[in-house]
Structures are given as structure tokens and as C-alpha cells.
Amino acid sequence: CIFILFFTPSHSKRASAKFCAAMSKMRKHIPDSMIAEGFGVSRNAEEMELFLSCFDQACVEDFERQLQLEQSYDCTTTFAFSDVMPFANNGFESIVQDSFTQCFQGRGKFRWNTTWYLTVIYYFGVLIRYLFLFPLRLTVLVSSLVLFINIFMISFLVPASFKRSLGALGIRIVNSAFVFAFCAIINVKGTIPPREAGQIYVANHTSVIDIVILLSQQLYGLTGQGHGGVIGFFQKIVLNFGTDNLWFDRMASRDRSAVAKQIRQHANDVSKHPLLVFPEGTCVNNEFVVMFKRGAFDLGRVIVPVAIKYNLDITDAFWNSKQSSFPAHVFHLMTSWALVAQVSYLEPQQKREDESSAQFAARVKELIAQEAGLRSVPWDGYFKYFQPKPEYKQRRQQVFTRQLLKRFDLDSMVTEFNHLPQRDDADDADGSSTCTATMATTDSQLTPTQLQSKRIEQLQAVSRRRAMSENTVVS
């Protein structure tokens, strides 16, 4: 990277800087719905072809701009280092400015005990947090769970009309215990709108603890990914005891379609608790907000945006499920000094007549990001569960191949070769029979490396025939 920065000509740097202008020009030809949905989600063939063609066009224009600026391109017979500069520059930018991976990286621990007296204060705080606060918080949490189990057993002895009230009481007891265990300081901004038919609350998602923060204000009916283990116990036993929740498998399309119908029915039933949805579908580190899934925005219901912002200077509430389990995450929060959060209830939003569901979701996402001071990015949070599609890599390879053919003036040779009959090359000037032996071998019996070598030999044969013809004309 240092070599490229210091030895790349200044005009090459200017050309790479103009890539943003090309992308802006490409942006004008792409519908807003495609940008709002993110790159790589399912869409029809025409939209995908339009998106990829515009993407390829921007890459080709940037590459051709490099061709005109680099002096080394005056020679068309040698391969220069500048041939790969547009793509190498784009690759380095992807590594340095990787806004997708940054969405799922927690804030590292800051070492502040750099002097002896700060070290004494630090370890004194460790003793208080681990030997006094943690046992006290754990005792309160376990006591609340024991009390909840007693209430749960009593619910089988009372009429069904009282069971729902007992469940709501049990949820409030357990949730209050979690708030105490985390020493959660919750600052509420705005007012909760009165309960009406068709309301759906949507919020940004940082951790499972978001549910604890929001349930401290009012009870919700939750919808989200079904889990096992400890989280599954709280989903199936604790939360389902007092509220109507919708758990599904994000990988199963049948579950998603069935939940969409249940969400529509739940939102219209005023007797049930308001529905809470986390449209990001995954935990983000509370510094970014990723693409909102449009499922809740397709229903034509009133959306109540809720912005959650944690004070990361006190403790990092982000849960990275790939690095730590849920009990370890809870232990981290219970051994912290406090959990400071601000919950902002925004004005209810409705879908406009001139916008699609994806645009509606993007607009609500921008409102939440602006209120919470988060950086909005267009990425799909599900990307962290999948590998990039090979079609994207092949597209860039095709662009590079087309430019190299143009760069070395091979387009006409390839066209001429494609129109030649498959015959022996015994008439070549040098009498070479290598190409003849290679063409006699069927493609199905060759490895990719051998196929590439065969193609090069055939192109060389065409080049020799062209050279003979030109020499004959000159003579």
C-alpha cells in the first residue's frame, strides 16, 4: 500500500478520485428502491441487469480514464503495472473503508490505568464490581426468577381470565430485576403515543437487552428470530407467558410469509399489546444502522419509530453472538458500573402515496439514525451470515478481461479466431505443430490450466497468420 501511495503518478490518483463522480453518475440511472434494499438482495432479472450494467459501466469508464492518463499505455505490446491500478485501488479502498464489517465490531477496551495511582483506583473498582455489586445483582435476579416460577405455577390454578394478568405481572418482575442487575439508567425522550389499531413499533437493534430497555416503559408483543438455550427459555416461557409474541426462523421462507399475516392481524387487535419489531434483523454495534427489512412496512400500518442510543463510554451494550454467548454477555453487563441508554419515541409515520415499501423503510431508518446520532449504511445485515455471491467477482473479472483485450488489441484476433474452421496449422510459417496437437484433444479432457494454454496457443497461431499476411502485402 505504501509503495502504491508513493509511486503512483499524481494523474493516476486524480483518476481514481474521479471514480466517485462516475458512481454518482451511475446512481442517477438506478431506482431509489434498489438502493434502499441494498446490493445483493433478491430482485427481478430486469432490475438486477440494470444495476449490474450501470455498475460495470462505472468501472469501465474509470478504467478508460486511466488509459488516457497513463503514459505507459502508449505502448500496447507489454503489460504494465498500471493495468491493475484501478482495481487494486478499489480493493484497497474496500479494505480501509469497510463500512460493513465496522457495523459488527464492538468498541475495544480503553486502557486508562497508565500510572500507579490510576492502577490502584482501577483494581479497587474491580473489587467493588466483582465482589460486591455482582453478587448483589445476581441475588436479585435469581430471586425474581424464583418468584416468576411460583407465579407461573399458580397460573394453572386460576381461571383463564386472570392468567394474562399474572403473566404480565411476572414479566414486569423479571424485567425490573434485569434493569436492577444492569444498573440501567434509562432516559426517555418524547411521549409514547396512545394505543391505536394498526400500530407497529420499530427500533434499531444492538442487543437482546434492547427488549429489557423497552419493556421497562410498556409491554410489547415481540416478533423476531426464535432461539434455543437461555434465550429460548425467556422467549418461550417468560415472554410468551404474558404477551402474544411471534417467533420465526429467518432462513425459512414459509415462516416469514406466515408471520407477515400474523403481524397484520396482531396490529389490528387493540386488545393485544402493541407489536415491536427490530427491522434490522441482527445486532449492530450502536454506531451504525443497517438496512431495514421491509416486511413490517409492506402492511400499510402506522409505524412508530423508536431510537435507542447507549452511552458507550460507560459500557458497550453490543452483543456479538459470534464471539460471546448470551450468558457471557449478561455477565459482562452485570459486572459493569451501569448501563446508560436514551430511548426516543418519534412521531408516528405513514407510508406516502409516492413511495414504495423499501423507500418507506429507508425513510424511517434515516429518522432513527438522525435522532440517535448513528451512521446510516445501505448494507443488509444478513450479509454477515453468507459469503458474497460469485457473480459479483465474475462481473469484475469480465470488465478486466474486456479492457485487456482492448488494451492489447486482441478483439479483432479473437473475432478472427472464432470464425476460423478447426483445422491443422501445418501451413504456419514456423511449421509448428503444437497447436495442431492441442486442438486434437477434446475440451472435456483438459484441466482449466490446459484450456487456458490451448487458448493462448490458438491466439498465437492466429497472430502468426496475420503477420504473414501483412508481410506479404508489404512485399
Please count the helices (runs of H) and the strands (runs of E) in the chain.
19, 9
Average pLDDT, the chain: 75
The pLDDT value given to residue 127:
94
Q: Which long-range contacts (CB under 8 A, 24 or more apart) does 223-228 make?
A: 223/247, 223/248, 223/259, 223/263, 223/275, 223/276, 223/277, 224/248, 224/277, 224/278, 225/249, 225/250, 225/281
Q: b or e along 383-411 (b: 16 or more beta carbons within 10 Å of the residue's beta carbon)?
A: beeeeeeeeeeebeeebbeebeeebeebe
Least confident stretch, 188-197, 249-258, 465-474: 465-474
Average pLDDT over residues 206-225: 89
The pLDDT value given to residue 188:
93
Residues 6+ apart with CB under 8 A from 60: 399, 402, 403
**350 pLDDT exceeds 70?**
yes
The pLDDT value given to residue 20:
46
pLDDT digits (tens, 9 = 90+) for 444-456: 566 656 666 676 6
**73 pLDDT exceeds 60?**
no
Least confident stretch, 84-93, 187-196, 342-351, 431-440: 431-440
Alpha helices (runs of H) in 191-325, residue ranges in sequence order: 209-215, 229-233, 240-242, 253-268
What's the rounded Cα separation, in Å, for the pair 469 and 224? 71
The pLDDT value given to residue 259:
73
pTM: predicted TM-score of the whole model, two decimal places: 0.65
Name the pLDDT band for 429 (thresholds 50, 70, 90): very low
The pLDDT value given to residue 60:
63
Average pLDDT over residues 245-254: 69
Q: Which of 197-201, 305-309, 310-314 has the highest mean pLDDT?
A: 305-309
**425 pLDDT exceeds 60?**
no
Least confident stretch, 61-75, 305-319, 357-371, 404-418: 61-75
Q: Is the Cα dihedral 452, 453, 459, 463 positive or negative?
A: positive
The pLDDT value given to residue 367:
94
Q: Which of 52-61, 161-170, 447-456, 462-471 has the highest mean pLDDT?
A: 161-170
pLDDT digits (tens, 9 = 90+) for 365-388: 999 999 999 999 888 887 777 666
Name the pLDDT band for 418 (thresholds 50, 70, 90): low
How many residues are listed for the chain in this entry?
475
pLDDT digits (tens, 9 = 90+) for 159-203: 877 888 888 899 999 999 999 999 999 999 989 988 887 789 999
How many percent of the chain have pLDDT more than 90?
A: 25
Least confident stretch, 138-152, 195-209, 216-230: 216-230
Give me the residue label for grid cell 479432457.
Answer: 445
The pLDDT value given to residue 83:
67
Name the pLDDT band for 392 (thresholds 50, 70, 90): low
The pLDDT value given to residue 312:
87
Q: Which of 130-144, 188-202, 412-426 has the highest mean pLDDT?
A: 130-144
The pLDDT value given to residue 196:
82
The pLDDT value given to residue 215:
92
- Cell numbers of 357, please? 415499501
**466 pLDDT exceeds 50?**
yes
pLDDT digits (tens, 9 = 90+) for 265-302: 877 777 888 889 999 988 998 899 999 988 888 888 88
Average pLDDT over residues 138-146: 94
DSSP tag of 420: S
pLDDT digits (tens, 9 = 90+) for 6-26: 334 444 444 444 444 544 444
